[in-house]
Amino acid sequence: MAEASGSDANATENIVEINITDTERRCAGSAVPLQDIYVAYQVESIIREPEKTPYIVWRRYSDFEVLHSHLQDSFPYVIIPPLPERKVMYRWQKLPSDRLDPDFVERRRASLELFLRRVAGHPELCTNTLFLEFLKHEASWRDDLNTGGLLHRADSMLRSLNASLRLRSPDTEFEEVKSYSGDLQMSLSNILRIRAKLADRTYGLHQLHQNYGRVLSEWCRLERGPHGDELQRAGQFMDKYAQCALPLLEEQEQAADALKEYLFYAGALGAVCKHHDVLQYELEKKEALFTSKESQHSQIVDGGAKAGQSLVSRLLSPSSPEQRASSLELQLETLQGQIQTQTREKKEFAKKAHAEIAKFQAQKDKDIKEALILYVISQIKLCNELTSFEQYLRFLCNDS
């Protein structure tokens, strides 16, 4: 165990540093340039091989998607770190909807950087050949990649759906994890939706006070003496109160992005459980076929030439009972070997998946706790601004 942990540490230390340092708008070069504008991200990394070697490559979002899909296919038992949203989700009125907006691009840059760092910090993912090529080579990193594209994705989805519908004896532990992933996804989705509504209303309330500030500023010009000065100060305070919300609401986006990451993590957790269902279903099919063949063999041995054979079969296959029994014995032996192999694969998958799930739970608790603390702190700041606003209003009322 100590040797394994040491090798894992060495593997993760090979990638010394990963940063996405710059973004750039580019055009794909089609006949309609405005429709093919995309954002490229400059990925800088330092890899020890064995000397520290710096690399700089440019990648677009679709390149990250290819890498993510490859990692999912190569490591089905690993909860693959998710990519950030392609389009804005759970937006409120000041959140940009344009995917080329500088604020959205910056948030996506930070999320993609976190994705690469999470992959680099995983003891198995960081050694993947395609991931290392992704960091090193500008254009040739996909040369050896063999993907089936949409057909491969559709086939995987159909296999998962078929397994979930026809599975006879699902694993209770993985069923609990699958149910938990669905509950986590629903809970985070509800939190993000409610938070977006709350941000909308908070921002709208503060903008309303900006109108009050404008009215008071106009009013102070009509008043002379101390009343005019008080109206001017009140208008300035209204303007200040109206402007204090936006920075705090934007600060909350960091917490929202962390919750969105685990919203997508829940999907990755469910994908691991679905792959286990596929393995279990394939094993059940082999066991059912073995039972059927074994029954046919028993009928032939016990019942003679006509046992276990229909009229059409006797006409089309005039083989002796000994030949059929020998053929079935070979098939049973082959099936038994396949069942043993698939059983070992399923147990090994379950062992690795449980270890990944345990690490995921620990990391999730830590990250979500930090995100909620950040959100609560920003809400406290907003409440403090409201408290100071109420105190100032009371002062004005008492003074008047």
Distance CA 202, CA 151 (A): 46
Asked whether the CA dihedral 160, 164, 169, 172 is positive or negative, the reply is positive
48-52, 364-368, 392-396: the lowest-pLDDT one: 392-396
Q: Is residue 160 part of a domain?
A: no
What is the pLDDT, as a whole number, of residue 305? 46
**pLDDT band with cut points at 50, 70 and 90 for residue 59:** very high
pLDDT in tens, 103-115: 889 999 999 999 9
* Full DSSP string of 315-358: HH----HHHHHHHHHHHHHHHHHHHHHHHHHHHHHHHHHHHHHH
CA within 13 Å, CB half, 169: 7
Helices (H), the chain: 2-13, 61-74, 102-120, 129-136, 149-166, 172-220, 226-243, 245-303, 311-316, 321-399
Q: Are residues 338 and 226 part of one domain?
A: yes
The amino acid that residue 234 corresponds to is A
Mean predicted confidence (pLDDT) in 354-373? 94
Q: Is 225 left (phi over 0), alpha (psi -120 to 50) or beta?
A: left
Q: Answer yes or no: is 285 within a domain.
A: yes
Residue 256: inside a domain: yes
41, 11, 4, 39: which is closest to 120 by C-alpha? 11
275, 393: one domain: yes
Please write the tens of the pLDDT for every residue from 289-323. 888 888 887 887 776 544 445 555 555 555 667 77
Q: Is residue 71 part of a domain?
A: yes
158 occurs within a structural domain:
no
Nearest partner of 249 among 196, 187, 307, judged by Cα: 196
39 DSSP assignment: E
Please tell me whether the overall predicted TM-score, pTM, comes out greater than 0.95 for this model.
no
Q: Report the number of distinct structural domains present in the chain.
A: 2
Residues 136 and 184 in one domain: no
* pLDDT winner (highest mean) among 95-109, 154-168, 347-361: 347-361
As given in the structure block, the two tokens for residue 363 are 């990391």
User: Quick check: is 164 in a domain?
Assistant: no
Mean pLDDT of 373-389: 87
* Domain co-membership, 65 together with 180: no
Which tops the pLDDT comparison, 362 or 151? 362
CB crowding 237-259: b at 16 or more within 10 Å, else e = bbbbbbebbeebbeebbebbbbb
Q: Per-residue pLDDT averaged across 321-347, rounded?
A: 85
The confidence band for 218, taking pLDDT boundaries of 50, 70 and 90, is: confident
Full residue range of the structural domain in which residue 100 is found: 1-147
- Which pLDDT does position 2 carry in this prediction? 43
Q: What is the pLDDT of residue 328?
A: 80
- Based on the fold, state whether residues 203 and 127 are members of the same structural domain: no
- Residues of the chain above pLDDT 70, percent: 84
| Residue 302 shares a structural domain with residue 366 | yes
Task: Summarize pLDDT for 91-101 with one digit per residue, the tens.
Answer: 777 777 778 88
> What is the pLDDT at residue 4?
46
33 with 82, same domain? Answer: yes
Tell me the C-alpha distance between 178 and 337, whole Å.
30
Residues 295 and 391 in one domain: yes
